Amino acid sequence: MFLTQYDNILKKVDKTLKEFLQEKSETFYDNPFLKYFYKEIEKFLFSGGKRIRPVLMFFSSIAIDPNVNEDGIIKASLSLELLHNASLIHDDIMDNAETRRGMSAFHKTLAGYSSLNYEESTQNPEDFGIAMGILGGDFLYNLAYNAIHVNDFSPDKVLQASLEFNQGFFKVVRGVIIETDLMGKFAISEDKYIEMVIGKTAALFESAAKMGAILAGADNSQIEILGDFARTAGIAFQIVDDIIGTFGDSKKTGKPTDSDLKEGKKTLLLIKAIETADDDQRKTIEKVVGNRNSTPDEIEQVRNIIVETGSLEYSRKQAEQLYHECTMYLDKIQPPINEKYKKFLLEIAKMGIEREK
């Protein structure tokens, strides 16, 4: 039942997103490059992705009020999906990523356009791609702000939801700033990692649940506890994302499984491995991690160290513990939320820790 309804919501989100983009695209068709740019934005938005933030917002709202205006919730939820995708475009520039979801990263696609259409002496393809990637992310941020201003709810609820959206956006930027700083450091604490993840990933989970609850007319205590639940689910989601990023199947994820280690990204896997590694293992980690020229054999050595130190098992247990905390949050929410959709919310959290991509 849950998977059927989840799939139905995904289809509604995609349909609503296409309609929203079609409405916004009309002003682009009188300029050939703008038309191409917009089509590439649309292609990026529909290149994959779990739409977990809109779905989380939807089920949070309907758990508060099963008779909530579903179409209005889905329209407002596009703001989170657009913001998330904007951050991905900018992340790929910062990470110098080649691919996203098994396709060329947005800025790399635009760099390719430059190579085909301009002389390098007048337009450097890499610079063009980066510039267009920055603008592409900015463009999606603008669309996100447009999407949240729906006419299906009272102005005071829309304003409150908008303020929560702004707060989520602020936390995401804060988290990425912290992450970028941490990448230059070898050993960091688990607390610093959690602080970063609360912003980078969990913030939009939290905002999704809170915005859905706000628009459905929840009281403040319900809004806050749903936010606590979603933030916790978001932290677990990121821990598993880090595991998949190093031990997953690149054919399923569409992303190389050596990129996190080569970029020196701080993950719970790496933090705990460094804490418990012996001197030789630490030297290997220090040599390989953050070195974009690391060989496949060297990357495999670090993977083995992560397993041998118990870091992989520790990270999995932490994600499972966080899921358990999610259940406790929803059990104590007062007034109680709809039981059917409470279970659906927990299924979303469980999907986050059991997924393979």
Bridge-based pairing of strands 99-100 and 103-104 is antiparallel
Which residue type is seen at 207? S
pLDDT of amino acid 48: 86
Indicate the number of domains in the chain: 1
Residue 2 pLDDT: 86
Beta-bridge partner residues of 100: 103
Helices 220-247 and 296-308: angle between axes, nearest 10 degrees = 130
Q: What is the mean pLDDT of residues 188-215?
A: 97
pLDDT in tens, 133-190: 999 999 999 999 999 999 999 999 999 999 999 999 999 999 999 999 998 898 899 9
- Predicted pLDDT at 182: 92
Q: Which two tokens stand for residue 153?
A: 């709810």
Contact 218, 153 (CB under 8 A): no
The domain that contains 327 carries what CATH number?
1.10.600.10
Question: Would you say residue 253 has pLDDT above 80?
Answer: no
249 pLDDT band (50/70/90 cuts)?
confident
Average the pLDDT over 49-62 and give the result. 95
Distances (CA, A) of 101 to 46, 115, 260, 262, 351: 10, 23, 15, 19, 19
Q: What is the pLDDT of residue 28?
A: 72
Residue 54 scores a pLDDT above 80:
yes
CA gap 296, 262 in Å, rounded: 10
Give phi and psi for 356, each to the nearest 5.
Answer: -115, 0
Which pLDDT value is given to residue 3? 86
Comparing 6-10, 64-68, 211-215, 224-228, the range with the smallest average pLDDT is 6-10
Residue with tokens 């929803």: 330
Please, which pLDDT band fits residue 272 given cuts at 50, 70 and 90? very high
CB 41 within 8 A of CB 107: no
SS3 of residue 104 by DSSP: strand
Q: Which domain holds residue 192?
A: 2-354
CB 287: neighbour CB atoms within 10 A? 13
